[in-house]
Amino acid sequence: MPAVPALIPKPARLEATGGDPFVISESTTVVVNGRPDLIGIAVLAADLLGRVTGRSIEIRYAESDAPDVVRLRLTTADGEGDESYKLVSNAGRVDLEARSPAGLVRAIVTLRQLLTTAPDGSLRVPAVVIEDAPRYAWRGLSIDVARHFVAKRDLKVIIGLMAHYKLNVLHLHLTDDQGWRLQVRSRPQLTRLSSGTSVNGDPGGFYTADDYADIVAFASVRGVRVVPEIDVPGHVNAATHAYGNLTPSGEPTDVYTGIEVGFSRLYADLPATGDFLREVFADVAEMTPGDYVHIGGDEVLTMEPAEYATLVAAASDAVRAAGKKVVGWQEIASTPLEPGTVVQYWDTRVDPAPFVAAAEAGALLLMSPGSKAYLDMKYDASTPLGLEWAGHIELRDAYDWEPSTLVPGVPAESVIGVEAAIWTETLRDLPALTSMLLPRLAAIAEVAWTEPEQRDWEDFRTRVVGQGPFWDRLGLSWYRSPQVDWR
């Protein structure tokens, strides 16, 4: 029986059925019934298989029981189900079934990870039955495109990696002191005046409304939703540089290219502030098909709590008025929150009491502990890039933690999911980003996807070995953690 390649994240149930493998031939086709929402998925499947086989794979839009096919099927009439899926492969065919298009994407990447090249050069899929579903509904990666701009083509490489590890939320930190990275219809000066620089005077950039729509669509086909973050009421120097009416003197602030935090701020009693929040969040919400918009809320070090709470409420109201749900960094837990607000936990050094209270009042917690999930932290003291304020994060640190008990007193049902984050103070290009993401992103993805009783470090460190050749094939930089016996 051919060995089954290692899967990451580990599926809920995998049975090697022992029959002959499916062999991809000249005539293998992708078959899908003709629903419009599945066309993109079929193209994705044919593209991924075609890339591995080195030739184009045909798609047929029909119900079919023919052999030699990879068949994609939705089991719900409206496609509104969860991300669970089933994959059955045997010598005759591969069947992928799911309750939603996103579930089919999860099945397709599992199929991609199952492909092996036989000694005769043919591509095979071992005979298996896999039944799989995620532990958490929110499995994210937050990328800081403000400290250093991340070009659209590089972002797409990262979105592809996210999909490969079954992550489903791309959180874009679009604004900060050093730059404003999204074109906003009501405030054209934001990108005109405040997008040109990055940390250290490195080149800047921004996404036009069309670029952003393209990113959203590229992610959506891969089952990844975009959550845009407009960080207020701190981290706003790019905004106050573009619009002087947001400052008490009326004068714009200077460009900022350092890496300090906490000095910039909005002012609740300036008339321009409310309009800014309402119009900017309305525009960003309108550009975003997903349910959530992130208001930031972190590290406002020069404001009284009452004014902070007023501004968080104003930003939250603007997001809700635009029909979206609110996400904010953990600091917002000290303010009154509407039920259903997502609080993103990041700084593990603080008292957990406000998170317990927020959860009791109906907030949901998204777990991004700096000491586990901040993938801009160095692996060890010799890592050339990255920061160290939350400590060093080796691969095992990123893997061996339990989201449901992380914050004492917060009930497991209040945890909506897990999100890795990568901040870019020291990371200026794609090789720098992927050398920090890989292999740790795979570890976080398994924390978010796989049930705790299925997770085991020794098992993971053996499975992750198989990812090295995949990253090499894609030409990506990655870190050869000494905790793994890489080939």
Residue nearer to ligand TNX on the CB measure, 47 or 299: 299
Report the C-alpha gap between 12 and 92 in whole angstroms.
24
Answer for which of 308, 399, 401, 423 binds ligand TNX (CB under 6 A) is 423
Q: Which token pair is 8?
A: 């990451």
Please, what is the minimum distance in Å from the beta carbon of residue 6 to ligand TNX?
31
Site string for ligand TNX, 324-363 (x = CB under 6 A): -----x----------------x-----------------
Considering Cα of 442, then 447, then 450, then 452, what sign does the dihedral take?
A: positive
281 binds ligand TNX (CB under 6 A): no
Report the C-alpha gap between 68 and 92 in whole angstroms.
6
Which one of 131, 299, 307, 338 is the catalytic residue?
Answer: 299
Identify whether 299 is a catalytic site residue: yes
Report the C-alpha gap between 433 and 176 in whole angstroms.
19
Residue nearer to ligand TNX on the CB measure, 346 or 355: 346
Residue nearer to ligand TNX on the CB measure, 97 or 298: 298
Residue nearer to ligand TNX on the CB measure, 106 or 181: 181
Report the C-alpha gap between 5 and 13 in whole angstroms.
14
Residue nearer to ligand TNX on the CB measure, 419 or 425: 425
Please, what is the minimum distance in Å from the beta carbon of residue 209 to ligand TNX?
26
Report the C-alpha gap between 375 and 439 in whole angstroms.
10
Q: Which token pair is 31?
A: 């078959």
Report the C-alpha gap between 159 and 165 in whole angstroms.
10
- Map the footprint of ligand TNX across residues 19-78, applying CB under 6 A: none
- Map the footprint of ligand TNX across residues 431-460, applying CB under 6 A: none
Evaluate whether 140 touches 168 at the Cβ level (below 8 Å): yes
- Map the footprint of ligand TNX across residues 82-111, applying CB under 6 A: none
Please, what is the minimum distance in Å from the beta carbon of residue 377 to ligand TNX?
7
| Main-chain phi, psi angles of 175, to 5 degrees | -140, 145
Beta pairing partners, 139: 418
Helix axes 271-287, 305-321, angle to 10 degrees: 40
Please, what is the minimum distance in Å from the beta carbon of residue 235 to ligand TNX?
7
Contacts of 197 (CB under 8 A, 6+ apart): 178, 179, 203, 204, 255, 257
Please, what is the minimum distance in Å from the beta carbon of residue 260 to ligand TNX?
10
Residue nearer to ligand TNX on the CB measure, 329 or 401: 329
Please, what is the minimum distance in Å from the beta carbon of residue 298 to ligand TNX?
3
Give SS3 for 37. helix
Cβ atoms < 10 Å from Cβ of 110: 20
Q: Which token pair is 460?
A: 């993971």
Nearest CA among 337, 233, 320, 212 for reference residue 276: 233
Residue nearer to ligand TNX on the CB measure, 330 or 467: 330
* Count of chain residues binding ligand TNX (CB under 6 A): 11
Which amino acid, residue 406?
L
Helix axes 430-437, 152-164, angle to 10 degrees: 20
Please, what is the minimum distance in Å from the beta carbon of residue 256 to ligand TNX?
13
Report the C-alpha gap between 1 and 172 in whole angstroms.
44
- Map the footprint of ligand TNX across residues 258-277, applying CB under 6 A: 261
Site string for ligand TNX, 364-383 (x = CB under 6 A): ----------x-x-------
Please, what is the minimum distance in Å from the beta carbon of residue 140 to ligand TNX?
14
Site string for ligand TNX, 282-321 (x = CB under 6 A): ----------------xx----------------------
Residues in the chain: 487
Give SS3 for 473. helix
Report the C-alpha gap between 415 and 166 in whole angstroms.
18
- Map the footprint of ligand TNX across residues 107-166, applying CB under 6 A: 144
Residue nearer to ligand TNX on the CB measure, 132 or 144: 144
Answer for which of 357, 387, 465, 474 binds ligand TNX (CB under 6 A) is 387
Binding residues for ligand TNX (CB under 6 A): 144, 261, 298-299, 329, 346, 374, 376, 387, 423, 425
The residues annotated as belonging to the active site are 299
